[in-house]
């Protein structure tokens, strides 16, 4: 007869705690960046360059006139949905999606390695 005693009354193992802490840290970082954008929308940003390039594209003008846009033209299509949102909401959403994709990509890469401490590595 095997008797298993679980000392963890909440039912969460250590790796689940690490995962929840990691998600909380990533969420907090999105909130901090979002608040910084709302408080000073034009400080430490290049999204005005992206918005200008999209506007130039929509007006059928050159996107490289300003000399600040150094991206492939296909970038316009990625940023266009955020350009259609009012400022600073579009800027906040651009960063939230960017941080979300970065964290998801890191999570996927970490899971490819199959280490016991994967959830800790996500921190």
Which pLDDT tens digit goes with each residue over 35-90? 877 777 667 677 888 888 899 999 998 888 877 888 888 888 999 999 999 888 88
How many Å separate Cα 29 from the centre of its chain? 9
What was the pLDDT predicted at 14? Answer: 67
What was the pLDDT predicted at 81? Answer: 94
Q: Do the domain assignments include residue 2? A: no
Q: List CB contacts of 46: < 8 A, sequence separation 6 or more.
A: 68
Distance between CA 111 and CA 119 in Å, rounded?
9
Q: Are residues 35 and 93 in the same domain?
A: yes
- Domain holding 78, by residue range, is 47-86
pLDDT class for 120, splitting at 50, 70, 90? low
The CB density around residue 5, as the number of other CB atoms within 10 Å, is: 4
User: Residue 21 in contact with residue 123, Cβ under 8 Å?
Assistant: yes
What was the pLDDT predicted at 119? Answer: 60
Give the pTM. 0.66
**How many domains, in total, are found in the chain?**
2
Q: Do the domain assignments include residue 31? A: yes
């Amino acid at each position: 007869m095997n008797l298993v005693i679980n000392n963890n009354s909440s039912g969460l193992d250590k790796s689940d705690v690490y995962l929840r802490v990691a998600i909380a840290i990533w969420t907090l970082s999105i909130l901090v960046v979002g608040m910084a954008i709302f408080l000073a929308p034009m400080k430490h940003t290049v999204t005005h360059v992206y918005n200008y390039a999209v506007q130039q594209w929509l007006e059928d003008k050159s996107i490289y006139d300003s000399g600040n846009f150094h991206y492939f033209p296909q970038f316009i299509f990625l940023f266009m949905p955020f350009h259609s949102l009012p400022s600073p909401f579009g800027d906040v959403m651009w960063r939230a999606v960017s941080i979300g994709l970065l964290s998801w990509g890191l999570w996927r890469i970490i899971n490819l390695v199959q280490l016991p401490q994967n959830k800790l590595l996500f921190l």
